[in-house]
Structure 1
Amino acid sequence: MTTAPTKTLLLVDGSSYLYRAFFAGGDAMSVTLADGSVQKTGAIRIMINMLQSLRKEVPAAFAVCVFDAKGPTFRDEIYPAYKANRSPMPDDLRAQIEPIHEVVRLMGWKVLAISGVEADDVIGTLAATADAQGMQVIVSSGDKDLAQLVNENITIIDTMNGRRRDVAGVTAEFGVPPHLMRDYQALVGDTVDNVPGVPKVGPKTAAKWLNEYGSLDAIVAQADSIKGAVGENLRKSLDWLPTGKTLVTIKTDCDLNDWLPALPAMDKIAVGAMNTGALAVFYDKYGFKGLARALAASAPDAAGSGIEVGSATRSADGSDPISARSPTRERDLFDDSDPTSSADPAPTAKPVSTLRYDTILTWEAFDAWFAKLQAADLVAIDTETTSLDEMRARIVGISFSVTPGEAAYIPLAHAYPDAAAQLPLGEVLAKMKPWLEDAARHKLGQHIKYDRHVFANHGIEVQGYAHDTMLQSYVLEVHKPHGLASLAERHLDRKGISFEDLCGKGANQICFDQVDIAKASEYSCEDSDMTLDVHCALYPQIAANDKLKFVYELEIASSETLYRIERNGVLIDAPTLAAQSHELGQRILQLEKEAHELAGQPFNLSSPKQIGEIFFTQLGLPIVKKTATGAPSTDEEVLEKLAEDYPLPAKILEHRGLAKLKGTYTDKLAQLALPSDGRVHTHYAQAVAVTGRLSSNDPNLQNIPIRTPEGRRVREAFVAPAGCLIASADYSQIELRIMAHISGDAALLLAFHDGMDVHRATAAEIFGVDTAQVSSEQRRYAKVINFGLIYGMSAYGLAKALSIDNTAAKNYIARYFERYPGVKHYMDQTRTLAKAQGYVETVFGRRLYLPEINSPNGPRRAGAERAAINAPMQGTAADLIKLSMVKVQSVIDEQKLATKMIMQVHDELVFEVPESEVNWVRHEVPKLMAGVAHLRVPLLAEVGVGLNWDKAH
């Protein structure tokens, strides 16, 4: 008999197994049960075989079979389209899941499925925890996503095809080591889970970049230096990549304490003996006669006995001697319950007896509740609307809560047949408007900026929003999801009704005005109630810390200013865009003609096959690399390489770039403007970037291409109305100034205080020459070094950026640190501090968490160390532009100026300015921006003015 090693944990990806079992013949067998119903059994039978074989091949003292639980996870909150392209589970497979869970338990395996957490994340957490205890971990799965978990102690095996993914295996298969797999997956994307990557970046390009630059962060830092369409695609994806990486990253820190004790107390997951008596009954029930005979032959005396294996004892009924679980835990699926019980208990929220939710259908009820609002110190408000587009959304109903556990909903525009009579929308809003617009009446919401817009669509400018639970979470726990459902589950152990539960999904989703009033009332009341409850849990933590309180108050003020910016919008000159589209179209046709002439024949410039035939068969161009099938490659990288020496590849690249510019911007931007005002109203997301920076979407105004003349011209279409001009105010070298401040390096401080060209000053230091003797090439080198070190660039990355060898790059970095020892001291000190507390802070106290800073994995730890150095600078820059935004808007309001702030783009504020106020903007805005904080170096903001955004630069 084989002895199970006491230090091996076997983790089975049960969800992967059951799908494989089903599609390998899961519908090929069936049995008629005692009640006359027909049960498919093929997947059950194959699953048993797979687990029996695995148990023989991988003896282990500890084992868990992990399945996905029903319902959404945190990834669905981050990205609603996550896994949206997956087909529904086949009914024949769904019918076999409960029997599969049952038989797996009876075979001695622990079954685990946790609500809100994917099986991969449970596996990742168990694997990482066991690894930290020095155990060997074997994960059995065909899922390539798990490759990111692999290290010296964690190995993935795929018994279906004999593949073994250890460190060498992963590296050989994907071209990158396991610790870079998250970065790799973020770049490539995941079509199975509907997670976009960088367009046109496939496995080879992703592996090449990662091997060249060392990490996704380093690639992002050097995005401006990556040429061609693939580089443009990367730059367009910069806002998405952090979200994409979050989606593909397997969590290794899930809270499993309610299901498992802290390792190494592993009695809960010790391999158990087969419950042969119950298995015999199971096999008979489902018609597995061969399995029943084999079972009887192998253990004729074992049926019904308790057998001790390792440190766990199973009783005759197959249950474990485990203490009862808390009845308040939602969807507790540590599946050691009786096999006949439900594997998916209903979620437990607040006891119904403690909740009082009212539906207001009469003026008497309205008056009673409105009196409560007027008497309350703080009121949570939520709107239900017709759209997620805040500029177009109309109110369907309003809910509010003043005491945890109590809430009310006013249905106002439910329009389905037979809907109950509702109070008139206009009259209700008219009665509430004075209270809503009273700044002394404090209000609370979840994502208050959206609700501000909704009320504004009805002519109400809400004042007095004092708190936002989304922003509270963003300040306290930036690295976690900030949706209300996630917050309630995380901090209150409450699980509410989801929007999809109410309205459905996809093409079948109904508008909220078609939702039954009773159901809508419960849903909306619950939202307001949970918002107030979450606030009571989070705000005291912020109020107790002066730094966090400052950052939170800045976010609240920024939300107000961003609402104003979004509401203002920016005027779009549609004829200018149309003219640009026409010119681009003519140039695209000309490029196509020139390409045909160079090729000697017509061909499709978008066809890799036709391009390859012309390049390599007819023109004899050199083959740069080959595809996986051995054919010459014509990918973006190859075109860029060939374009250095041959005109045809250059024409094709230019053609593609202009076609994309036309299709993405000049053709479509005007279509995004509101017909009512001709303006584009972007949405600024506050609670996305972990550094505190804003992201812009619908449309993304922060990602308009400016590195080509044609791309820069798009900004010409951002104009002001007659009698006004566009002004752009931009911080100068802000992150270098922040580095000088936080490092306290004497040479850097002197350079900025003396108003020197800091890149020229750095070049003089590194090359040992007088500043007047610094050549343009030396200054260029110094600029790359200055910015590269801020972003954690390695010697290898610097060598590539400057086209020099690694030794020269190392020497430049060494010389830099010799001349700027304060920078070196800051970097060393920051690493130490980050390791000690798990986060770093901006100058103003914003916390930037670093989960991998103490990772035993060297490359992951090094990546976190680089982030620790850069994050305070990026985060402080984000804080500064928010402080400027708030300050400038407040002065505009105080002085009752007509100037409007219309965009915030990175470190830049853009204004629409009446001609009579241009001088004020030129002189006062730079002073206001420079004066929002007092650093060791002066802040410098510069203003440009022009007829359009391009001319203002």
Structure 2
Amino acid sequence: MPKLILIDGSSYLYRAFHALPPLSNARGEPTGALFGVVNMLRATLKAKPDYLAFVSDAPGPTFRDALYAQYKANRPPMPDDLRSQVEPMLAIVGALGFPILRVPGVEADDVIGTLALQAQAQGIEVEVSTSDKDMAQLVGSHVTLVNTMSNTVLDGAGVMEKFGVMPSQIIDFLALTGDAIDNIPGVPKCGPKTAAKWLAEFDSLDGVMANADKVGGKIGESLRATLPQLPLSRQLATIKTDVPLEFGPTDLARREADVERLRELYARYEFKAALKELDAGADTSTSAPAGREVGGEGAAGAHGATEAALQPPSPAETGFASSANGAYELVTTQAQLDAWLEKLRHAGLIAFDTETTSLDAMRADIVGISFAVEPGQACYIPLGHDYPGAPPQLDRGDVLRALQPMLEDPTRPKLGQHAKYDINILSHYGITVQGVKHDSMLESYVWNATATRHDMDSLARKYLGYETVKYEQVAGKGAKQISFSQVDLDTACRYAAEDADVTLRLHHALWPKLQSVPSLQRVYEEIEIPLVPVLAEMERRGVLIDGDELRRQSQQLGKRMLELQQQAYALAGHEFNLDSPKQLQAVLFDELGLEARLKTPTGQPSTNEEALEAIADVHELPRLILDYRGLAKLRSTYTDKLSAIVNPRTGRVHTSYHQGSVATGRISSSDPNLQNIPVRTEEGRRIRQAFIAPPGWKVMAADYSQIELRIMAHLSGDEGLLKAFHEGGDVHRATAAEVFGLKPEEVSANQRRAAKAINFGLMYGMSAFGLARQLGVDRGEASDYMGRYFSRYPGVRAFMDATREQAHRDGYVETLFGRRLYLENLTSRNAGLRQGAERAAVNAPMQGTAADIIKRAMIAVAAWLAERDDAHMLMQVHDELVFEVRADAVEEVRRAVSERMSGAAKLSVPLLVDVGVGANWDEAH
């Protein structure tokens, strides 16, 4: 997910002022708070967020002053020593390139709250950098708080641990405890423990107020005496999340740093470390989200790059020769092309990259190609720049024919950055690229999957300390962005040749690292690199979709949604908009009087999925709304959308597979995501009926059976679990028999369900509390189940304990094949983050090993299919492979695929594969 960091400027400044000694520079100007803020900002930049902003209070009153004249009346004026540091702080913040946000009439908290919720809704991860406890009300699934002074992270579990209440209860918590700094009244003598106790018992402030007469003692008297003012306290404590803003989260990319201004400011305030870092080039890095996407540049485009922005860094600053020095050559004549063909023939390793008209490899046309054979020496061959007045270029067909023998020669080693994209682009022109021995993206991914993003800009910054020319600098951005074919040749050369040059430099930096760890080198050379052409071919093949079937399903879903609407109207007694949270809120909680068990950050009853699930057992309407939303999502995401994205060139849907995105080694899918089609509902499974085979062909699905559980048995070596798999029966029934001391035939359905929940839950670190919720039993009973399980399968407990111990010792865990997963939060002070990292440590060897196994299977199956034209591998969906097989070859392909998938790893238990065949994916699955 992209990331937004919102910095609470006031919190930063005050915290630094009180935490650091009263420093000053040679002029006698106070610098302590400024020093602390600058260090925190530099640390923020090293996190490389996609978006960021420094938010501070604007001068003048806010709406809270109008609500309550005494608001913040007790707050002392800002000390003079601190006040004098505000202006230089803002100057440094601006020079670093941070957007500075100050909105009149509201506080910084309200701006942060509004942006945080907007970003969360857009699928952006949000980190609020603050020490203000009020911000805990914003914490959600993708919103966390970070205190850079104490280096702690607060997520939902952390809020519960620190305050004793859920994030959705923080507003009510603050209303009860009050706030002496902001002069929010609260209930006298009600401390945090009392407030948490009341909210645990009565759920909300409204519940506390309604049951005030049940609270005894003097604290009860205080509560009852302050009842009239508690709604105001809640209003004052509530962070606004609907502030009208002229900007949104994606407008908050970091601007170019003003290096000279920073140097001047750092020198004046004597920040020697920052100045040294600046002179080394680190502080000039930009963090705009528009870094080069892995794979190629798109047709999405815009004018507007400034002349200054197009100037490359000097060789002295970066160690890179620039095109001005002649190291990057624009190839526009036959003589130049011949000279480069000669260089390529004698090169030990050829770095190459394509420039195109689209990020979608199946729809893109080539615009040019670049090569590098030595660091600092690269060329760009333009093939399709068509702007008015564009200089003559070599004929595209002639150039590609001249390059084809070299590109198709498997004995000539080649290197790319996300080479799969370039392989697919060149395939449109009849070129089957072979001999790709290295990929800098995959080198980084295998070396440390979590250290950084694996796009070129991020890798160059991390491993070379170099800022690449950004696509937006050459093509602009937003609505005015131009296609790369419209970029002038000199600018295009600087940008495109740099791609090949940086790719080669990255290889020189990363390859020795992999060679230093033989297990990682094997993962890279035996799994990831051989998989590249396999995935490329799968993407090109695509999958056949029955558009008529999808349209029928859309109509059926629409009809069913209409029926649910009518039922909802009958239950409510009137019509209302089921898609409107506000109207639904009114119907459920005001009219029907249902209990609101979850609240929004503003204290309103929530109507999200979790909130509706919480009350679905007390009234029919919440479950009906959930069903309606599920159908609406199926329709918008799949039945309406899939037909619209059929490629006109092929008549098929083509997904993109990603090797470098999931830390455990799993392959992911996007545009469209074919790995996320739901299978637990009848409507979801029906969507698979639209994935069909051509006439005379069948769809075949081959799925590993309980692969992660089998890997657990192998890795733990537990005798009981190994026995269950070797006997070949129902492993969950066998487990239940062990746990409950029964014969397998005596095991009840509920006992088998409990055993299954434990078997799979343990791999994901499920607690007794989680098991209790899943099974619908009390925590004691669930704890008893788990105790019995571990007593019967002691090897599993020993494996889990040893894995956690190894993770703490080494900082990483490994798969069966040597892939590493680094776990940064193992030493976190936050118990929730630390426990989450420990759960990941136990799960990662199993999930990662499963990922490695199916990748090895794909490579083996693809090698067998290479010489055949009667079967094609179409999709990879977690532990399943989907094929298109000619009807007369089904049995032969079934046997071959099953044999190669089963043989992809040697485990101490059988590796079983279930194979199904049908006219569509649903029938085959």
Q: Does TM, scored on the shorter chain, surpass 0.5?
A: yes
* Residue of structure 1 in register with 2:701 after alignment: 728
* Residue of structure 1 in register with 2:510 after alignment: 538
Alpha-carbon separation, structure 2, partners of 1:781 and 1:547:
38
Q: Percent identity?
A: 47
1:739 is displaced (CA, Å) by 0.3
* Residue of structure 1 in register with 2:539 after alignment: 566
* Residue of structure 1 in register with 2:319 after alignment: 350
Q: Give 1:441's aligned amino acid.
A: R
Residue correspondence of structure 1 range 661-676 to structure 2 within 5 A: 661-676=634-649
Q: Give 1:913's aligned amino acid.
A: V
* Residue of structure 2 in register with 1:821 after alignment: 794
Distance of aligned partners of 1:114 and 1:734 in 2 relative to their CA distance in 1, 3 Å threshold: farther
1:649 is displaced (CA, Å) by 3.9
Does the alignment pair 1:149 with 2:146? yes
Match of 2:857 among 849, 874, 884: 884
Distance of aligned partners of 1:785 and 1:517 in 2 relative to their CA distance in 1, 3 Å threshold: same
1:448 is displaced (CA, Å) by 0.3
Does the alignment pair 1:330 with 2:281? yes
Residue correspondence of structure 1 range 517-532 to structure 2 within 5 A: 517-532=489-504
* Residue of structure 1 in register with 2:104 after alignment: none
The 8 Å contact of residues 68 and 113 in structure 1, kept in 2 or not, is answered as no
The 8 Å contact of residues 352 and 415 in structure 2, kept in 1 or not, is answered as yes
Alpha-carbon separation, structure 2, partners of 1:403 and 1:495:
19
Alpha-carbon separation, structure 1, partners of 2:17 and 2:719:
65
Alpha-carbon separation, structure 1, partners of 2:620 and 2:131:
51
Alpha-carbon separation, structure 1, partners of 2:374 and 2:676:
44
1:657 is displaced (CA, Å) by 2.1
Q: Give 1:405's aligned amino acid.
A: G
Distance of aligned partners of 1:54 and 1:443 in 2 relative to their CA distance in 1, 3 Å threshold: closer
Distance of aligned partners of 1:752 and 1:454 in 2 relative to their CA distance in 1, 3 Å threshold: same
Does the alignment pair 1:761 with 2:754? no
* Residue of structure 1 in register with 2:866 after alignment: 893
Alpha-carbon separation, structure 1, partners of 2:13 and 2:151:
20
1:585 is displaced (CA, Å) by 1.7
Q: Give 1:491's aligned amino acid.
A: Y
Residue correspondence of structure 1 range 18-417 to structure 2 within 5 A: 55=17, 63-66=35-38, 82=51, 104=85, 148-150=145-147, 174=167, 319=270, 325=276, 329-332=280-283, 348-352=317-321, 356-417=327-388
* Residue of structure 2 in register with 1:585 after alignment: 558
Distance of aligned partners of 1:118 and 1:329 in 2 relative to their CA distance in 1, 3 Å threshold: farther
Match of 2:880 among 887, 896, 908: 908
- Structure 1 stretch displaced more, 720-729 or 540-549: 540-549
Alpha-carbon separation, structure 1, partners of 2:319 and 2:165:
51
Alpha-carbon separation, structure 1, partners of 2:15 and 2:729:
72
Between the two proteins, the alignment pairs up a number of residues equal to 734
Alpha-carbon separation, structure 2, partners of 1:816 and 1:951:
36
The 8 Å contact of residues 745 and 820 in structure 1, kept in 2 or not, is answered as yes
Does the alignment pair 1:938 with 2:910? yes
Residue correspondence of structure 1 range 689-768 to structure 2 within 5 A: 689-768=662-741
Match of 2:766 among 793, 804, 807: 793
Distance of aligned partners of 1:869 and 1:141 in 2 relative to their CA distance in 1, 3 Å threshold: closer
* Residue of structure 1 in register with 2:398 after alignment: 427
The 8 Å contact of residues 152 and 167 in structure 1, kept in 2 or not, is answered as no
Alpha-carbon separation, structure 1, partners of 2:6 and 2:597:
43
Distance of aligned partners of 1:116 and 1:612 in 2 relative to their CA distance in 1, 3 Å threshold: closer
Q: Give 1:484's aligned amino acid.
A: M
1:643 is displaced (CA, Å) by 4.1
Q: Give 1:891's aligned amino acid.
A: W
Q: Give 1:542's aligned amino acid.
A: L
1:449 is displaced (CA, Å) by 0.4
1:64 is displaced (CA, Å) by 1.6
The 8 Å contact of residues 140 and 156 in structure 1, kept in 2 or not, is answered as no
- Structure 1 stretch displaced more, 420-429 or 660-669: 660-669
Alpha-carbon separation, structure 2, partners of 1:713 and 1:14:
43
Distance of aligned partners of 1:788 and 1:609 in 2 relative to their CA distance in 1, 3 Å threshold: same
1:637 is displaced (CA, Å) by 4.2
Distance of aligned partners of 1:905 and 1:60 in 2 relative to their CA distance in 1, 3 Å threshold: farther
Q: Secondary structure at the match of 1:769?
A: coil
Does the alignment pair 1:474 with 2:425? no
The 8 Å contact of residues 384 and 512 in structure 1, kept in 2 or not, is answered as yes
Alpha-carbon separation, structure 2, partners of 1:822 and 1:52:
53
Distance of aligned partners of 1:56 and 1:445 in 2 relative to their CA distance in 1, 3 Å threshold: closer
Q: Give 1:434's aligned amino acid.
A: P
Does the alignment pair 1:460 with 2:431? yes
Alpha-carbon separation, structure 2, partners of 1:104 and 1:632:
42
Distance of aligned partners of 1:530 and 1:116 in 2 relative to their CA distance in 1, 3 Å threshold: farther
Distance of aligned partners of 1:846 and 1:401 in 2 relative to their CA distance in 1, 3 Å threshold: same
Give ranges in structure 2 of 5+ residues lacking alignment.
24-31, 59-80, 102-128, 171-198, 204-248, 251-263, 286-307
Distance of aligned partners of 1:807 and 1:890 in 2 relative to their CA distance in 1, 3 Å threshold: same
Alpha-carbon separation, structure 1, partners of 2:454 and 2:907:
32
Q: Give 2:36's aligned amino acid.
A: V
Q: Secondary structure at the match of 1:408?
A: strand
The 8 Å contact of residues 570 and 718 in structure 1, kept in 2 or not, is answered as yes
Q: Secondary structure at the match of 2:648?
A: coil
Match of 1:500 among 451, 458, 472: 472
Give ranges in structure 1 of 5+ residues lacking alignment.
1-12, 21-49, 91-99, 121-136, 158-164, 178-206, 212-246, 249-277, 283-313, 335-341
Alpha-carbon separation, structure 2, partners of 1:321 and 1:680:
56
Distance of aligned partners of 1:529 and 1:618 in 2 relative to their CA distance in 1, 3 Å threshold: closer
1:687 is displaced (CA, Å) by 0.3
1:418 is displaced (CA, Å) by 1.2
Q: Give 1:401's aligned amino acid.
A: A
Q: CA RMSD in A?
A: 4.2
Alpha-carbon separation, structure 1, partners of 2:152 and 2:353:
48
TM-score normalised per structure 2: 0.72
Q: Secondary structure at the match of 1:875?
A: helix
TM-score normalised per structure 1: 0.70
Q: Secondary structure at the match of 1:728?
A: strand
- Structure 1 stretch displaced more, 805-814 or 562-571: 805-814
Q: Give 1:330's aligned amino acid.
A: G
Q: Secondary structure at the match of 2:318?
A: coil
The 8 Å contact of residues 320 and 376 in structure 2, kept in 1 or not, is answered as no
Alpha-carbon separation, structure 1, partners of 2:100 and 2:815:
36
* Residue of structure 2 in register with 1:264 after alignment: none
Alpha-carbon separation, structure 1, partners of 2:886 and 2:152:
66
Alpha-carbon separation, structure 1, partners of 2:44 and 2:414:
30
Alpha-carbon separation, structure 1, partners of 2:470 and 2:41:
16
Q: Secondary structure at the match of 2:866?
A: helix
Q: Secondary structure at the match of 2:824?
A: coil
1:860 is displaced (CA, Å) by 2.7
Alpha-carbon separation, structure 1, partners of 2:482 and 2:585:
49
Q: Give 1:776's aligned amino acid.
A: A
Alpha-carbon separation, structure 1, partners of 2:557 and 2:378:
57
Alpha-carbon separation, structure 2, partners of 1:507 and 1:323:
37
1:775 is displaced (CA, Å) by 1.1
1:542 is displaced (CA, Å) by 1.5
Match of 2:817 among 844, 859, 872: 844
1:916 is displaced (CA, Å) by 1.2
Match of 2:628 among 628, 631, 655: 655
Distance of aligned partners of 1:380 and 1:835 in 2 relative to their CA distance in 1, 3 Å threshold: same
Deviation track 1:218-244 (CA, whole Å, cap 9, x = no partner) reads xxxxxxxxxxxxxxxxxxxxxxxxxxx
Alpha-carbon separation, structure 2, partners of 1:794 and 1:808:
12
